[in-house]
Amino acid sequence: MELTVETRAQWPPPDDPAARLPEVPRFETSAFAPLLVAVGERCLTDRYGTPPLPPDIGPRTALVLAATRGDMVTQTAIDDAVAGRRQVPKPLLFQNVPSTALGHLSAVWGLTGPLVATLAIGDPLAAARGTAARLLATGDADQVLAIAADPGDGPGTPGTAWAHLFTTGNP
């Protein structure tokens, strides 16, 4: 299936490589969720302006994440708490699941189509594009916000991410 890229974004932004990630409520300790939210919001803002999406578009918009690894910073914090026989702070358990950042984007932007989070073997953008193509080919969505991420492994190293808004190019 031929996909059309309606708009795209990346983090860090090419025009501001030293840009700081925005704070995202309820996501602390790690830059993983802010990385995903920042690139997704930049992509959607470029196409639609401010949230939410129009009510006829949100339900037909899928959200895909393909990442080279999960949130290693949060997982390390959880592992350290368990190894030290300390209680794991509940917010860490919440933010450790990759789909919670996608849920934040969904809630803010009104995306109520399918949501898929997967581990990318190889190129994360190719993996995100492949999943987007399948969702569009089956008719499960009219457009897909596909986020590809190569997250960093430390609190000060957020990593990189790309977001593409894919359609089939058909009206």
Domain layout of the chain by residue ranges: 4-12+29-167
Q: What is the pLDDT at residue 15?
A: 92
SS3 164: strand
Instruction: Give the pair of three-digit tokens for residue 8.
Output: 């795209």
Q: What is the pLDDT along the chain (171 residues), one digit of tens a residue?
A: 789 999 999 999 999 988 888 888 877 778 888 899 999 999 999 999 999 999 999 999 999 999 988 777 666 667 777 888 888 777 766 666 678 889 999 999 999 999 999 999 899 999 999 999 999 999 999 999 999 999 887 667 788 999 999 999 765
Q: What is the pLDDT at residue 94?
A: 64
CATH of the domain spanning 4-12+29-167: 3.40.47.10
Q: What is the pLDDT at residue 100?
A: 84
Instruction: Give the pair of three-digit tokens for residue 150.
Output: 């190569």
DSSP 37-77: HHHHHHHHHHHHSSSSPPTTTGGGEEEEEEESS--HHHHHH
Instruction: Give the pair of three-digit tokens for residue 130.
Output: 């492949």
